[in-house]
Amino acid sequence: MEELIAKAREVINNAYAPYSNFKVAAVVKTKSGKVYTGVNIENASYGLTVCAERVAVFKAVSEGDRDIDTVVVYTDTDEPTPPCGACRQVIAEFNPNALIVMAGRKKTVTAKLSELLPSAFTKERLR
C-alpha cells in the first residue's frame, strides 16, 4: 500500500487548485495490477471541477481497465480526506467493494467502499 501512497504524493503537485488551494491526488489500482493516477482539476465555473478520484477512475476505464481494486486518496493534510459522494458513486459503478485508502501526512485510514457508501445505486437497481 505504501507504494501507492508514495505514487499519490508524487503527483499531488500536478493538481490544479487555484480556487480552493486544496490539492488532492488519487491512485487507482486495478485487478490487473495496473496503476492510474489522477489529481483534482478546478475550474472558474466551480461545477465543472473534477475530483482526483474520478480523473484516475476515468483514466483506467478509458484504457479499458474496469476492474478497480483499490483507490488511494492523498491530501497534504494531517488527517486523511475521504472521497466525496460523487466519487464514491463513480467508484461503486466499477466495484462497490473496492478498498479505499485515505492518506494524510500523519494518518492513513482504510475502508471498503461499501462501508463508505452503503446501499449504493448500482446497475442491479435498474432491474
Distance set, CA 105 to CA 16, 52, 121, 127 (Å): 20, 17, 32, 43
Percentage of the chain exceeding pLDDT 70: 100
In this structure, which amino acid lies at residue 27? V
Q: Is residue 124 part of a domain?
A: no
CATH number of domain containing 89:
3.40.140.10
Give the tens place of pLDDT for each residue, 40-70. 999 999 999 999 999 999 999 999 999 999 9
Q: Is residue 10 part of a domain?
A: yes
What's the rounded Cα separation, in Å, for the pair 90 and 96? 9
Q: Is residue 102 part of a domain?
A: yes
Give the tens place of pLDDT for each residue, 70-100. 999 999 999 999 999 999 999 999 999 999 9
Model pTM greater than 0.85? yes
- By residue range, what is the domain housing residue 93? 2-119
**115 belongs to an annotated ligand binding site:** no
What number of helices (H) and strands (E) belong to the chain?
4, 5
**56 belongs to an annotated ligand binding site:** no
Specify the residue for cell string 501507492: 4
**87 belongs to an annotated ligand binding site:** yes
- List active site positions: 53
The total number of structural domains that make up the chain: 1
Give the tens place of pLDDT for each residue, 13-36. 999 999 999 999 999 999 999 999
Q: Is residue 93 part of a domain?
A: yes
What's the average model confidence in pLDDT over 115-122?
Answer: 93
**45 belongs to an annotated ligand binding site:** yes
